[in-house]
Amino acid sequence: MAAKKVAVVGGSGSIGREVVDEILARGSYEVVILSRGAQAADLPKGVAWKQVDYNDKSALVDAVKGIDTVLSFLAMFDQNEALELHKKLIDASIEAGVRRFAPSEWASASNSGIPHYQYKDEVRKYLEEVNSDQQKVQYCLFQPGMFTDYFGYPHATTKHFNISCMFVDFQNRRAIIPDGDDAPIILTTVRDMSRLVAQALEYDGVWPTRGGMQGTAFTVSELIALGEKLRGPFKVEKLSDKDLKTRNVTTSWYPLVTHHSLPVEMREPVSKGLLVETMASLKRGVWTVSVEWNKLLPDFEFTTAESYLKGIWL
């Protein structure tokens, strides 16, 4: 019997490649990467590459024929483009008889209110809509919360994932937090999420629509306390509700976004805007996610935040 196939959309990106590696390590699925671009030079052995045109529906349907599961890691600055590409991919998957679909989630809970995550909620609504009369495709929103790896910056423990400095900066022993109540946060390592997705492919039951996973359930103050335990005292600064409302960053520093796709002159405004959105989202509690996959895969062993960060900072 031929192995089942999984199509990984955006599989040459940072998170997608981590998931591809874990699927390959288990060996139970053949991997096909779907991309608008030409084949990557460092394509892993045994992985097929299909270049796709989202505007050619019949070709897109052909590209996912014979595929059991589609995993999407599509991410882009243009929210409308991200939504439209997902719609085309979902429609093609249904027409081709794909059994399961995972949209590009891989972060917070739904309805987060985070501007650059808006397309995620629109894609979810579209999946609800196409399945409203009868289930045409199983789908799961894989939600790991925030990646623990960020707090190991600048020390990466993965091969492909691009880490960056966050609001709790272990290296420089400092933190920026929202004023008010302590914010809940779920931390899951990139490797654990990737391993779990690879195991979820082999899960015999119906995928849960909401697919939360919890590596470590923390609060922001507990994360800072862990940082101080491992690194010594932290300087903690706060942004007030007024600061968040006026988008005024009053702190002595802010995490700088240095992504290659971002022009140098845009780094400061984008970085400050992202910090404000992160603080606001922490106050809304959207970085605490559910435990569906913890329950469905009870033998899966997560790496705790303390264990992971001890391995880096001690």
Whole-angstrom distance, CA of residue 60 vs CA of residue 42: 24
Whole-angstrom distance, CA of residue 241 vs CA of residue 178: 8
Both tokens assigned to 283: 């106050």
For 206, residues 6+ apart whose C-beta sits below 8 A from its C-beta are 138
pLDDT digits (tens, 9 = 90+) for 157-199: 999 999 999 999 999 999 999 999 999 999 999 999 999 999 9
> Is the predicted pLDDT of residue 2 greater than 70, yes or no?
no
Query: Are the beta carbons of 148 and 113 closer than 8 angstroms?
Result: no
> Is 3.40.50.720 the CATH number for 4-139?
yes
pLDDT band of residue 39 (cuts 50, 70, 90) is confident
Residue whose tokens read 């940082």: 227
pLDDT digits (tens, 9 = 90+) for 40-49: 888 888 899 9
Q: What percent of the chain has pLDDT over 90?
A: 90
Whole-angstrom distance, CA of residue 314 vs CA of residue 310: 5
Question: Pairing relation of β-strands 235-239 and 174-178?
Answer: parallel
pLDDT digits (tens, 9 = 90+) for 120-132: 999 999 999 999 9
Mean pLDDT, range 201-220, rounded to an integer: 97
Q: From residue 192, how far is each of 38, 200, 205, 303 by CA, in Å?
A: 29, 12, 21, 7
* Strand, helix or coil for residue 211: strand
Mean pLDDT, range 273-291, rounded to an integer: 97
What are the start and end residues of each CATH 3.90.25 domain in the chain?
146-188+217-288+303-313
Task: Give me the chain's average pLDDT, please.
Answer: 95
Residue type at position 303: T
Mean pLDDT, range 78-88, rounded to an integer: 94
> Is the predicted pLDDT of residue 84 greater than 70, yes or no?
yes
What are the start and end residues of each CATH 3.40.50.720 domain in the chain?
4-139
pLDDT digits (tens, 9 = 90+) for 241-265: 999 999 999 999 999 988 777 889 9
The CA-CA-CA angle for residues 282, 287, 291, to 5°, reads: 155
* Strand, helix or coil for residue 309: helix
Q: From residue 259, how far is each of 41, 274, 288 by CA, in Å?
A: 21, 13, 26
Q: What integer pLDDT is reported at residue 12 of this predicted model?
A: 80
pTM of the full structure = 0.95
Considering the domain 146-188+217-288+303-313, what is its CATH architecture? Alpha-Beta Complex (3.90)
> Is the predicted pLDDT of residue 1 greater than 70, yes or no?
no
Mean pLDDT, range 151-158, rounded to an integer: 97
Whole-angstrom distance, CA of residue 268 vs CA of residue 95: 44
Q: What integer pLDDT is reported at residue 262 of this predicted model?
A: 81
